[in-house]
Amino acid sequence: MHFREICHGRALFVQENKIWIAQGLDFFAVNTTGERVTPKYSIGQVVDRFISSFRLSRQLLRLGIHHLLPLNNGGFLVVLKRQTLTLDQGGKILSIFSGYRGNKPGHRGVCVTPDGTIFFGEYTINIHNDTPTSLYRSTDDGLSFHKILTFAKDEVRHIHFIQWDKYENCLWMGTGDKDSECRLMLSRDNGDSWETIGQGNQLWRAVGISSTENALYWGTDAGSVPDPNFIVKMDRRTRELTKIQEVQGPCHGNAVLADGTVFVSTGIEGGANEQDRCAHLWQVQRDGKVQEVYRMKKDIFPLIIQYGVMRFPMGIESCDAVVFTTYALRNGPEQVWRLGD
């Protein structure tokens, strides 16, 4: 496979033929060749914009735009450090959501369902599990958020993801990190109630899922523990888990394309169970064949600045070709890549 760089920045959402990109505190959409196709929207104060324009300070201080989701009304939900903005179609700020725990949700910790409901899961480091963790919901296009679920301080460390599943018309939510804190949960009533499908070991520790017609796939995120990491498959009918491939490190990305092809990416975060200093991209084809298709080495900067990872934009399930962003890697410090000829 040949991957080519199409743009500098972070690919955060794919919408039809547009890839929404963040560069510091600016965002815009490009086409599949990297040509800008929308106006550039700018947010933030002058000082924040200046500091966010430099990659190392942006990554070290966790600045910039972390999530960008187009809303059903044509506006945007934009997640920054410790605040979430709702914008209208022209980029004007309509509301600010803050006061939640942590700097920002996990990479898949916020989602918009087909009816426009927004879900937002808290993510804190919470090493000693002494802080409650909450899930929020908005039913008015992000103008207000309300807490709908709280895990007690000894239940889970944080929420990893919340995602919509078009095949079962449900929400999936994942938590971590210790064995007892790892859960995969399901809601069929828009988040009012939740059922735990699996829990209790590192196989249930995922940063996101890939939904296909017959199964769910994910890569395990067993970082800072001795457990090896795997790409796993959960049968929709039986809920049985199968380990289909051991991988080189904790998995930081999951994606599925329109044709059902699944991609999983590993990262470098310095754990004892990592096999090398590379981020790896794995593909699971529709016929079940699993193969590694790409790898990149970690850059020279310390892990405290940024783990070396490949992350997929939300909305990628509508794509015919995989798109991802490299962070803190030698060939692409914050660069958008696409499968190309």
Q: Give tens-digit pLDDT for 251-289.
A: 999 999 999 999 999 999 999 999 999 999 999 999 999
User: What is the pLDDT, as a whole number, of residue 157?
Assistant: 94
CA 48 to CA 52: how far, in whole Å? 6
Domain CATH code at residue 322: 2.130.10.10
CA trace torsion 259, 251, 151, 235 (10° rounding): 40
Whether 209 contacts 161, CB under 8 Å:
yes
pLDDT digits 0-9 by tens, 32-52: 999 999 999 999 999 999 999
3-state helix, strand, coil in the chain (%, to 5): 5, 50, 45
Share of the chain above pLDDT 90, in %: 92
Burial class (CB in 10 A: 0-12, 13-18, 19+), 332: buried
In terms of residue numbers, what domain contains 40? Answer: 2-340
Structure-token match 């700018």, residue found:
42
Q: Which two tokens stand for residue 186?
A: 């399901």
How do 229-235 and 215-219 pair as beta strands? antiparallel
Rounded to an integer, the average pLDDT of 223-242 is: 95
Q: Taking 90 as the threshold, does the pLDDT of residue 298 lie above it?
A: yes
Q: What is the mean pLDDT of the chain?
A: 96
CA 329 to CA 32: how far, in whole Å? 22
The total number of structural domains in the chain stands at: 1
User: What is the pLDDT, as a whole number, of residue 341?
Assistant: 57
Q: Taking 80 as the threshold, does the pLDDT of residue 340 lie above it?
A: no
In angstroms, what CA-CA distances link 339 with 9, 204, 240, 315, 324? 17, 29, 32, 16, 9
Whether 173 contacts 187, CB under 8 Å:
yes
pLDDT digits 0-9 by tens, 186-198: 999 999 999 999 9
In angstroms, what CA-CA distances link 141 with 117, 138, 283? 7, 7, 35
pLDDT digits 0-9 by tens, 107-166: 999 999 999 999 999 999 888 888 999 999 999 999 999 999 999 998 999 999 999 999
pLDDT digits 0-9 by tens, 3-29: 999 999 999 999 878 999 999 999 999
Q: What is this structure's pTM?
A: 0.96
